[in-house]
Structure 1
Amino acid sequence: MTTTLSNGILTATIADLGAELLSLSDAGGRELMTDADPAYWTGHAPILFPIVGRLHGDRYRLGDTSYVMPQHGFARRRNFAKVAQDDTSATFALADDAETLSMYPFAFVLHVEHSLEGATLKTLVSVTNSGEQDLPASIGFHPAFAWPLPYGGAKEAHRMMFSDAEAGTIAEIAANGTISANPRPSPLEGRVLHLTDRLFEDDALVWDPVASTSVSYGTESGRQLRVDFPGMPRLGVWTKPGANFVCIEPWDGIADPEGFDGDIFDKPGIRRVAPGETHRVAMSVTLVG
């Protein structure tokens, strides 16, 4: 099942599966998201929960017990219940059940709200600890935007402008998908990332931490997308060479350090959510120009 929101400026389509944004188009019907070519990646904009990235050996430890958890968690593969909707907003919910408890023995309620305001799509994700013990959780966004955008300009003319100056290094992703102890040089030229397939031959670019709170994406003279992510401490940028998309991924978690074997509560990027408390993160996408 899908839900469509529209305000005459943007139209968004969201799936019950993962509460995932499938499509975002402008008033002329031009698609701003990935073509989801199965030769590369069929995702669109999954919500990452309760982890971001890959665990060492796809396992985590809680006390003396080990649990299997797939990359980016399980929320993107679960059907959410739609709990509210009007013309321009919809809210979806996922709660623990027998299947989630088998890999993540915690009580939770995860809400995803998508809303349109003018030329902006806002996505708010919140997790509430509905249990009686602390909840370990990370949340991430993974939207894949059309590359090139449908406003003219070759792929190689597209770039990302970071809102703030960034450090001179970024994280290095190891062969097994975890984070190497050895950083790599940043590919930024000033605050600009000039997009080429070559950048992604060794997987994603990961800023940990990221100083910026927004990134503008597009050609220098054409219409652009501005992705705002205030309060999110990390950012991934990813594609597969040859694909017609690029992901701009604000995260509050991150993959395990290479060789990590500590408790889940000691994993970098994990938030400890107390019983009855709610952890919230937000991202917005604005069509500019």
Structure 2
Amino acid sequence: MSDDGVHLENVHLALDVAALGAEMQSLRTVDGREVLWQGDAAFWGGRAPVLFPIVGRAPKNRIAVGEFEAEMAQHGFARRSVFELEKSSPEMCRHVLRDSDATRAVYPFEFALRLTHRLDGAAVEVRAEVENCSEGEMPFGFGFHPAFVWPLPGCAGQQHEVVLDNGGAPLRAALEDGLLAAGTHPSPFDAGRLSITPGMFDQDALVFPEGAGPGLRYGVAGGANLTFQFDTLPNLALWSKPGAPFLCIEPWHGMAARVGGSHQIAERPFSVTLPAGGVARFGYRMALNL
């Protein structure tokens, strides 16, 4: 990559990570099969953004912490922030984002957000560490938002599905203008299986607040797939732009504010409140079976 990015490689995989957002830019097999969406702005320019200090939208794009209020765009500011490279090796890199005058103007806390990417055989591990460096409690939401090619390499014309490890049928929450609507809807999963079909995201993301479990498989039954294991990430969303050849698999700890709800970050569903000096950890592992 360029001077502001990191290239990792082993005998199975190659991974590029940018300083902007500590965001993955490419994840491919050593023979060149790319699995990460490449960010076509005609659909969506992201690839694998990190969501912090909120997940989803805030009412009228404004957040509050106690008496403090500020404007904050959907998914927070980390994805648009330049991270510093703390450590790297041929198969691992760790970036950090610390508070600054710019972040404290919209989020009144001292913090450190560390993102670690590591190759492990034919798998990649992505770990996040949120440290509260302030003297008081710090509320936040955190999430991963990676997008993967649909269809997977070599699988054109084949039905793709998401299969939950727990075989569950989690209830779906609806979104209204990006905010969490009241109530729940029947699960689109049948015994843990969901076929990915055109048009299923015409009304926005499929959001599952609870019950999706700690792991899933995305791919072709009996064929190529990506398998995921999640750590401390109880919420799941699946999303794509209508007509776009990608699928976002988004594990979160924190969700959008409710329709008609508070601006307070601490009152958003599944928000974390971290004590002074506390550290919260989140992560996922994804294995490529191509």
TM range (shorter): over 0.9
Match of 2:276 in 1: 275
Runs of 4+ in 1 over 6 A off after TM superposition: none
Q: Is the 8 A contact 2:217 2:226 kept in 1?
A: yes
Q: Is the 8 A contact 1:91 1:111 kept in 2?
A: yes
Q: Distance in 2 between matches of 1:223 and 1:263?
A: 43
Q: Is the 8 A contact 1:24 1:32 kept in 2?
A: yes
* 1:230 CA drift (Å): 3.0
Q: Is the 8 A contact 2:149 2:246 kept in 1?
A: yes
Matched, 1:70 2:63: no
Give the TM-score, by structure 1 length: 0.96
Secondary structure in 2 matching 1:265: helix
Q: Distance in 2 between matches of 1:64 and 1:109?
A: 23
Q: Distance in 2 between matches of 1:202 and 1:85?
A: 41
After superposition, the Cα gap between the structure-2 partners of 1:11 and 1:20, relative to the gap in structure 1 and judged at 3 Å, is: same
Match of 1:220 in 2: 221
Q: 2:27 aligns with which of 24, 29, 51?
A: 24
Please give the per-residue CA displacement for 1:192-238, whole angstroms capped at 9, x wherever unaligned: 11001211010000111134211111111322101211331100000
Match of 1:163 in 2: 165
* 1:36 CA drift (Å): 1.6
Q: Distance in 1 between matches of 2:167 and 2:73?
A: 34
- Worse-matched range after superposition: 233-242 or 207-216: 207-216
The one-letter code sitting in structure 1 at the alignment partner of 2:128 is: V
* 1:189 CA drift (Å): 2.1
- Listed as ranges, the gaps of 5+ residues in structure 1 are none
Instruction: Give the 5 Å matches for 1:95-174.
Output: 95-154=98-157, 157-167=159-169, 169-174=171-176
Q: Is the 8 A contact 2:131 2:277 kept in 1?
A: yes
Match of 2:236 in 1: 235
Q: Is the 8 A contact 1:200 1:238 kept in 2?
A: yes
The one-letter code sitting in structure 2 at the alignment partner of 1:9 is: H
- Worse-matched range after superposition: 138-147 or 214-223: 214-223
Q: Distance in 1 between matches of 2:247 and 2:123?
A: 19
Please give the per-residue CA displacement for 1:46-89, whole angstroms capped at 9, x wherever unaligned: 01111111111111222233211110000000000001000000
The one-letter code sitting in structure 2 at the alignment partner of 1:236 is: A
Q: Distance in 2 between matches of 1:281 and 1:8?
A: 27
Match of 2:204 in 1: 203
Instruction: Give the 5 Å matches for 1:186-201.
Output: 186-201=187-202
Give identity over the alignment, percent: 37
Q: Distance in 1 between matches of 2:277 and 2:38?
A: 40
Q: Distance in 2 between matches of 1:116 and 1:186?
A: 34
Q: Distance in 1 between matches of 2:42 and 2:272?
A: 35
- Worse-matched range after superposition: 213-222 or 115-124: 213-222
Question: In the comparison of the two structures, how many residue pairs are matched?
Answer: 287
The one-letter code sitting in structure 2 at the alignment partner of 1:133 is: G
- Worse-matched range after superposition: 46-55 or 203-212: 203-212
* 1:168 CA drift (Å): 5.3
- Listed as ranges, the gaps of 5+ residues in structure 2 are none
Match of 2:262 in 1: 261
- Worse-matched range after superposition: 17-26 or 178-187: 178-187
Secondary structure in 2 matching 1:14: strand
Secondary structure in 1 matching 2:180: coil
Instruction: Give the 5 Å matches for 1:40-79.
Output: 40-79=43-82
Q: Distance in 1 between matches of 2:34 and 2:28?
A: 4
